[in-house]
Amino acid sequence: MTFKGRLIGVILLTFFPFMIETIFDFFVVKWGFKYPVAISFSFALCLSAVAPAVVVPLMLQYVKEGYGTKKGIPLKIIASSTFENISILVLFGIVSVIGLN
Pick the more confident residue, 101 or 50: 101
Confidence category of residue 85, pLDDT binned at 50, 70, 90 = confident
Confidence category of residue 29, pLDDT binned at 50, 70, 90 = very high
Q: Return phi, psi of residue 50, to 5°.
A: -75, -30
Q: Are 81 and 58 in contact (CB under 8 A)?
A: no
Pick the more confident residue, 24 or 3: 24
Q: pTM (2 decimals)?
A: 0.77
